[in-house]
A and B are shown apart, each in its own frame.
Chain A
Amino acid sequence: METDQLIRTLAADSSRPARPVSLVLALALLAAMPVSLAMLFAGLGVRPDVMRAMHNPFFDLKFAVTLALAISAVGVALHLSRPEASLRGWAWLLLIPAGLLVGGITSEMMLPQNLPMMTRLIGSNSRVCLTAVPLMSMPLLAAALIGLRHGAPTRPAVSGAIAGLLSAGLAATLYASHCTDDSPLFVATWYTIATALVAAIGAAIGARVLRF
């Protein structure tokens, strides 16, 4: 086919431009959320003392950290779905959850504690955390990749990793309601390992499926 013929054909395709990536991503995540929620309720359940825990600022901080991760990852992922975009000027968004964690660790250090530092760090749920967060991430990761496939990311592995951060942030938000370890040291260790794992999976899949 000659290029002139192709151009004529493209101009004849008067279908409207596709929907914005943000909308497709939002719909995909909304569709996947109930699946991850069902996994939470079927496999773990919310911790029984959740009402009391909400008065503990370190319990609440977990949600601030994981939601900050999810929201900043959404912003970066949408930015990177445009072909001319680069991480420059945007990567700092991902430091917000890390900054919240550092703030949390510092405050905990300054308050008197019943348990020694290593005990708080190791906690009692590390194995559950490392299993549940990646598992609950999977439906959300699939949704995020479907949403981003709709865009035109020129660095598919990077976008896939950000999709991993996004889905791990949402899954960790769910998991935080189950986990009785509230120390920011626990969060900084085990949530981070679980998140890194999901980001690596996202990068590996993204490198294949996010090419356009």
Chain B
Amino acid sequence: MRERGDEWTALMRSAILGDSAAYHRLLKAVTPVLRAAAQRGLARAGQPVDQSEDIVQEVLLAVHLKRHTWDANAPFAPWLFAIARNKLIDWLRRRGRRVFVNIDDFADSLPGDPAPEIPAASEVAVQLQSLPARQREVLQSIAVDSSSIKETAAKFAMSEGAVRVALHRGLASLTTKLRDA
């Protein structure tokens, strides 16, 4: 458990310095743990666990947009789980549920192997439709069509810089829309 936390911290340090491969590995590594925790939290709140993927995606977006609040000298896992707990509570509250989130759901000592089945998420896809056209097109191109920034720039006759800006703004407004949905 300790080792896993150290590995995450090391990956996040590289990610902050601009290593996007390390960042990708880190997000891939934390996702099953976040999913298992979200499912436990939902089950405890008497909610259907198949909603967990929406929460996982909101957590990942928050991690991305708030990563400047992580102190690179501190371990990564407590920061991650604090965001995950916050997003779960927020999600339950938005649905008017009384919130009882057990801190242990996000404790460091989570079992490593969660249920293999990955339920579908829907909220990001729904909110994506309400984004300005340019942001939506760029996000869809990169997320759904797996195009690179370069290919996306060519496709829409934009500069790569403009694609990057649209991508970042799109992710930020997606997060706002999910929060206020």
Contacts and interface: CB of A to CB of B under 8 A. Distances in A.
A98 B32 CA distance: 48
A160 to B, nearest CB: 16
B36 interface: no
Interface string B19-43: 0110110011001000000000000
B61 A10 contact: yes
A83 B27 CA distance: 18
For chain A, the bracket of interface size reads 20 to 34
A46 B67 CA distance: 44
Contact of B24 (A3, A11, A21, A83): A11
A18 interface: yes
Interface in A1-36: 1-21
B90 A211 contact: yes
Contacts of B31: 3, 7
B143 A5 contact: yes
B108 to A, nearest CB: 12
B79 A17 contact: no
B139 A9 contact: yes
Given A3-B121, A83-B83, A8 B66 contact: no
Interface string B161-178: 000100110010000000
Interface in B62-85: 62, 64-71, 74, 78-79, 81-83, 85
User: Main SS of chain B's interface residues?
Assistant: helix
Contact of B64 (A3, A10, A19, A21): A10
Contacts of B116: none
Contacts of A211: 90, 179
A14 B128 CA distance: 20
Interface in B82-123: 82-83, 85-86, 90, 118, 120-121
A14 to B, nearest CB: 6
Contacts of B139: 9
Contacts of B85: 154
Interface of A: 1-21, 81-84, 151-152, 154, 211-212
Q: Closest 6 A-B residue pairs measured CB to CB?
A: A84-B82, A83-B82, A11-B24, A152-B66, A17-B68, A9-B143
21 contacts: A1-B125, A1-B128, A3-B53, A3-B121, A6-B143, A7-B31, A9-B167, A10-B23, A12-B20, A13-B167, A14-B20, A82-B70, A83-B66, A83-B69, A84-B74, A154-B82, A154-B83, A154-B86, A211-B179, A212-B62, A212-B66
